[in-house]
Structure 1
Amino acid sequence: MATHDDAGDVHARPPGATGGVQSVSRALELLDLMAGAGTDVSLSELAEGTGMAAATTHRLMRTLLAHGYVRQLPSRRYGLGPALIRLGEQAGLHLGAAARPHLDDLAAQAGETVNLAMLDQDMVVYVAQAASRHSMRMFTEVGRRVHAHSTGVGKAVLAELPDAAVLRLLERAGMPPATEHTITGPEEFLTELGTIRSRGFAIDDGEQEVGVRCVAMAVPEAPTPTAVSVSGPAARLDLAGLEALLPALRRTAGVLAELYATEGP
């Protein structure tokens, strides 16, 4: 299982693989190290971080480069490649399809739109949606990518990460205001994340779109930081109404955690 160390990086070290499988495991370990670094890395840093010989690291990186999973910069350092975006999108769509019946159940109970979103690099991508029964309802296109700091789902997933990792992400992605209510200061945002961690859910009160409220909750132990949310017009969904949705939202997050655990290796 992937674990977060004190620096907020994610490392996966599969046990005891040999032969050709060991080569695959080592290549994946390199990708995990690059993802955790959050910036471009040198060949020597990769070798040191994985404990592999420089020649082995170079050979594996050449293979990953040829397939588009990494890219080499003019500085000769390496970054994650575009092929991973396609894989991530397809994985998200697959998980979204599996989750859809549970999202439909929550939408029926809440009477509002339900979204499932995942953290993909420095942005949040919506992977599934169950629509409200109301004629006036929220709609977010599946596949849409948004900044994490201005959404309920984004704040919920970032609250699962250490502050140091959050600050690195915010520095890379920026904190543009979506509305006048969007939090745009890193320190204020970390304070908001502390509140989310203590109460167990995030609220977007017009921070992504004026007149829209949302309550979101992280899916526990998801393989990729994931959150489920309920959103609706502020005129219909006041703050007390958001809190009334928490038991159903928490049950759905738990069901999705079990679903992803079942589908995992």
Structure 2
Amino acid sequence: MAERAAGGVQSVERVFDILDLMADAGGALTLSELASRTELPPPTIHRLLRTLVGKGYVRQLANRRYSLGPRLIRLGDGANKQLGQIAGPYLAGLVAELQESANMAVLEGDMVLYVAQTPSPHSMRMFTEIGRRAHTHDTGVGKAMLAQLDESTVRGIVGRAGMPPHTEFSIDTPEKLVEHLATIRKQGYSIDDNEQEVGVRCFAVAVPDAPTPTAISVSGPTTRVDAAFGERAVPLLQAAARAIGEEMNRVA
């Protein structure tokens, strides 16, 4: 469990520790599994879970496991809208400079969730619907976020979500992905090179110090988004990501 914050309310911290553990485990755990991962006695965990179930933030399944509840969706939607509002001006700045669509996404569960976009002015452009979910292993934003995580967490995410090859260029095994993520960490950015859709290339970077794994990207047709484009785009993406991360922390 995380260290208790100075001046924090113990019962509130315990609730969020439990919710974090459930999210990290893919959304569901038994009472005994929660007890083994915390320093709390089972009666305390049970009392907290009973309260969360009553409020709709946790639900008890037929197999006696506890899972994240539907009330959390409303909170998540509100948080994602705020993230999109913070990112909006920076995405617009990227589009003004690069003339290609810019996106922001977060890691929600084991999938990428797109929370903001500013479209390219070109008639032939990439469009990603806000609220769309995608796999992590073959998206620029997904790989940028995975590169910020440890190997066991990465393997857990793709193990639960699967690694469907959307094109012949998609990474299709955890071993290849882990090796690829090491390269992303060294270079400081990721590329979706025809992996989600043939004919489309995307450059992405993670947002540093974000409260949840977050990344921004620019994407467009491979005829325009080439190596020379990447040389211009990556520094701009990195600067925008730093600014977004700083603003997120000011808001927090």
Which consecutive unaligned segments of at least 5 residues does structure 2 have? none
TM-score (norm 2): 0.94
Please give the secondary structure, in 1, of the residue aligned with 2:137.
helix
Q: 1:33 aligns with which of 5, 8, 21?
A: 21
Match of 1:82?
70
Where does the alignment leave 5 or more consecutive residues of structure 1 unmatched?
1-10
Which has the larger displacement, 62-71 or 143-152?
A: 62-71
Deviation at 1:214, TM superposition (A): 0.4
8 Å CA contact 1:33–1:46 kept in 2: the answer is yes
Displacement, 1:191?
Answer: 1.1
Q: Which amino acid aligns with 2:129?
A: E
1:155 and 2:135 aligned = no
Paired AA for residue 227 in structure 1: A
Deviations along 1:134-164, whole A, 9 cap, x unmatched?
1211110011111111100000001110011
Secondary structure in 2 matching 1:66: helix
Residue in 2 aligned with 1:250?
Answer: 238
* CA distance in 2: counterparts of 1:141 and 1:13, whole angstroms: 38
Whole-Å separation in 2 of the counterparts to 1:15 and 1:237: 45
Alpha-carbon separation, structure 2, partners of 1:57 and 1:196: 39
Moved beyond 4 Å, runs of 4+: none
Amino acid in structure 2 at the alignment position of 1:247: P
Q: Deviations over 1:205-255 (max 9, x none)?
A: 111111111000000011010000011111111122112211111110110
TM-score calculated relative to the size of structure 1: 0.90
1:130 is displaced (CA, Å) by 1.0
Among residues 117, 124, 132, which one is paired with 2:112 in the alignment? 124
Deviation of 1:16 (Å)? 4.5
Identity of aligned residues (%): 54
Cross-structure match for 1:73: 61
**Shift, 1:101, TM fit:** 0.8
CA displacement 1:165-205 (0-9 Å, x = unmatched): 00011110001122221111111111111110111100001
Q: Determine whether 1:166 maps to 2:154.
A: yes
2:202 corresponds to which of 214, 221, 225: 214
CA RMSD of aligned residues (A): 1.6
Q: Which of 221, 226, 248 in structure 2 is aligned with 1:238?
A: 226
Preserved CA contact (<8 Å) 1:203 1:216: yes
SS in 1 for 2:125: coil
**Structure 2: how far apart are the matches of 1:257 and 1:40?**
30
Q: CA deviation at 1:82?
A: 2.6
For the residue of structure 2 that corresponds to 1:242, the secondary structure is helix
| Structure 1 residues 32-61: Cα deviation after superposition (integer angstroms, max 9, x where no partner) | 122223363221332342322222211110
**Distance in 1 separating the partners of 2:73 and 2:147:** 23
Q: Judge conservation of contact 2:140–2:204 (CA < 8 Å) in 1.
A: yes
Moved more, 135-144 or 77-86: 77-86
Rounded to whole Å, the distance in 1 between the matches of 2:204 and 2:58 is: 33
Structure 2 distance, partners of 1:14, 1:99, is: 30
